[in-house]
Amino acid sequence: MSFSSPRSHNEVQLSRTMLLDLLADLQARTFQAFGCQIRLFIHGGAVMILHPSLSTSSTRRTTRDIDYIKRAFGHEWRKKGVYGAEDRLQACIDATAHKFQIGTDWMNADPDVALPFARDPKGHIYDPIYYDSKQPNNVEMNTVYSSPGLLIISVTMFWGVALKLVRYKKEDPTDIVAMLRHGTKLNGVQWTPRIMETWVKTLCWPMGYNDYQPQRIEELKGRIQDAVRLLQNSSDEFLPGSNEHSHALVPRSSSHSMRDAALVSPQGHAHMHTPIHMQPFANFPDVHSASHAPPTHQHSFQSPTAGPFRMPEPWISPSNMMMRPQHPQTRAF
């Protein structure tokens, strides 16, 4: 593809309909450029709009961009012996932006610089967010867009929550509430600050929580407590509003029509998939417990090398790494 343009900032708020139009155009271009379906892993506000379950329980209606994990995309194509795939994809993104007259960063990977790396038990560097999100159970539960030229998968919900806890501004609190409510719908868990903190710290250990300074730990605890308070103050008939100051309650909106064939129907969302290599509490606490108390049993991180999934091959030239010498687990929500 010969089209290229300088990067420009998008100020247009993108609705669900606009996102679908953009992705329809983009997938046609990627199919032409790559000759097959490519897949991208995304996080952020676009997930709340495109996800077949979250889109009906979230108050978010627009976003300025789609955050995708560029380093994972490039990694997959380098494994196939193809270099420069990222530039080819960017040309497609730019061309779509040009057609719709929006900024070229309507789809971007700017947050990649802050995403952690980790080491597996053999010392190999890998991307824990990508690794967790590409597992079959997450692909089944959290695919948000599928077309001949493009497959888009949300990162796991626990990573989605963890990343939003880092910023916790604007619509992040209500986005987190929607994801927590999604977990409650799946298996009935009753969230408490202690349960949520254990859940995030256990599953997202590469974030380096053990190295947080006391002030940062207290900040994290405060955000978790605020998110749980917002969740508990809502009900089946109401959702937390998007106003970050008032946290007003607004009526639940009607379900979106699944008019576009590219959107994946929420099949398999009626029950919780049991992840690979996890302790019983690692995904959610035991919902059959009357007290819903946080787990008290001991656990150890287990390597996926012991099971049917092999650890990914060593990562290529990671930068801005945060590495934790612990064993990863694999699970999804």
Helices 85-100 + 16-34 axis angle, to 10: 140
Check residue 39 and give its pLDDT: 98
The proportion of the chain whose per-residue pLDDT surpasses 90, expressed as a percent, equals 64
Domain regions of the chain by residue span: 14-272
- Among residues 283, 305, 295, the alpha carbon closest in space to that of 156 is found at 283
Which pTM was predicted?
0.74
The proportion of the chain whose per-residue pLDDT surpasses 70, expressed as a percent, equals 68
For residues 273-301, average pLDDT: 30
How large is the C-alpha radius of gyration of the chain?
20
What tokens were used for 182?
Answer: 């999604």
Asked if residues 159 and 134 have their Cβ atoms less than 8 Å apart, the reply is: no
Check residue 213 and give its pLDDT: 97
129-138, 243-252, 278-287 — which one is most confidently predicted on average? 129-138
What does each C-alpha distance from 322 to 306, 307, 312 come to in angstroms? 24, 26, 18
Mean pLDDT over the full length of the chain: 77
Q: How far apart are CA 154 and CA 40, in angstroms?
A: 9
- Confidence class for position 186, pLDDT limits 50, 70, 90: confident
Whether the per-residue pLDDT at 23 is higher than 50: the answer is yes
112 or 266: whose pLDDT is higher?
112
Q: How far apart are CA 2 and CA 8, in angstroms?
A: 18
